[in-house]
């Protein structure tokens, strides 16, 4: 698949959670590797069973040291501080998911956005209950009641539960709806336009870097 994309001058990016998988996708010719920390919202990008689960702070430098590709950091980043932190760890860029749920343009239902705003950093869990695959979501009634009961294969699980999710969406009921989100929900408390999120990150990051320069090189 990678070769066929390259024949058409399409760059390929793959998201991984371990050094083993980073090496595997690099060997397959992938151009950019996303290092996903455990705090990330949404599906866990673990491709092999030998998963090496670690937070963004640990997995980004591990993967940056292991492979000769640009690294994008994913998990827990919502602002300029997060961007500067992962650039220092060896990333060339960032991927944000949870932050963009809580934006004006996001297509998430209003109760999902409000749940992200209300959530603390400890209000997420990794559950297979919604799709059959491990996914970090806001903890709700559906995930708690389902527990670790057996699941159907990937995506068949979501098809089987679709009537429940649709009914919950129709009545605005966050208790029975899948709400993929990461620990960074605990850092989010506003609903700006998406463009403002990006602008703010650039401004905050440059202020953070100037602050460091003042500390390490007072003459600069």
Decide whether 91 or 96 has the Cβ nearer to ligand FMN: 96
Q: Is 42 in the site for ligand FMN (CB under 6 A)?
A: yes
Number of residues in contact with ligand FMN, rule: CB under 6 A? 21
Least spacing, CB of residue 68 vs ligand FMN, in Å: 22
Check if the beta carbon of residue 169 is closer than 8 Å to that of residue 177.
yes
Site for ligand FMN in 51-110 (CB under 6 A): 74-77, 95-99, 101
Asked if 140 interacts with ligand FMN (CB under 6 A), we say: no
* Cβ atoms of residues 191 and 111 within 8 Å: no
Q: How far is CA 25 from the centre of its chain?
A: 19
Contacts of 183 (CB under 8 A, 6+ apart): 39, 76, 121, 122, 124, 136
Query: Which of 101, 149 has the CB closer to ligand FMN?
Result: 101
CA neighbor of 70 nearest in space, from 37, 92, 95: 92
8 A C-beta contact, residue 146 and residue 127: yes
Nearer to ligand FMN, 99 or 128 (CB): 99
CB-nearest residue to ligand FMN: 97
**By CB under 6 A, residue 35 contacts ligand FMN:** no
Among 15, 60, 71, 168, binds ligand FMN (CB under 6 A): 15
In the complex, least distance from residue 77 CB atom to ligand FMN, rounded to whole angstroms: 6
**Shortest Cβ distance from residue 93 to ligand FMN (Å)?**
12
Neighbours of 127 (CB within 10 A): 23
Closer residue to ligand FMN, CB minimum distance, 76 or 80? 76
Starting from the edge strand earliest in sequence, which strands make up the sheet with 124-127, in order?
42-43, 135-138, 124-127
Q: Which residues contact 94 (CB under 8 A, 6 or more apart)?
A: 72, 73, 74, 77, 82, 83, 86
CB nearer to ligand FMN: give 39 or 79. Answer: 39
Give the nearer residue to ligand FMN in terms of CB position, either 205 or 220.
Answer: 205
Angle at 90 between CA 87 and CA 92, to 5 degrees: 60
Residues that bind ligand FMN in the complex, under the rule CB under 6 A: 15, 36, 39-43, 74-77, 95-99, 101, 180-182, 184
């Amino acid at each position: 698949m990678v070769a066929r994309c390259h024949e058409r001058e399409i760059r390929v990016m793959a998201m991984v959670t371990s050094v083993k998988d980073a090496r595997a996708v690099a060997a397959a010719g992938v151009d950019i590797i996303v290092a996903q920390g455990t705090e990330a919202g949404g599906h866990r990008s673990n491709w092999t069973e030998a998963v090496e689960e670690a937070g963004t702070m640990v997995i980004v430098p591990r993967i940056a040291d292991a492979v000769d590709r640009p690294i994008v950091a994913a998990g827990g980043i919502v602002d300029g501080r997060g961007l500067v932190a992962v650039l220092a760890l060896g990333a060339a860029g960032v991927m944000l998911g949870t932050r963009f749920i809580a934006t004006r343009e996001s297509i998430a239902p209003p109760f999902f956005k409000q749940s992200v705003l209300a959530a603390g950093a400890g209000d997420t869990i990794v559950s297979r209950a919604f799709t059959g695959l491990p996914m970090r979501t806001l903890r709700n009634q559906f995930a708690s009641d389902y527990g670790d009961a057996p699941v159907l294969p990937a995506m068949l699980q979501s098809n089987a539960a679709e009537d429940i999710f649709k009914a919950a969406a129709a009545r605005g009921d966050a208790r029975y709806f899948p709400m993929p989100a990461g620990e960074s929900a605990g850092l989010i408390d506003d609903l700006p336009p998406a463009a403002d999120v990006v602008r703010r990150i650039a401004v905050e990051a440059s202020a953070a870097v100037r602050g460091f320069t003042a500390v390490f090189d007072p003459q600069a």
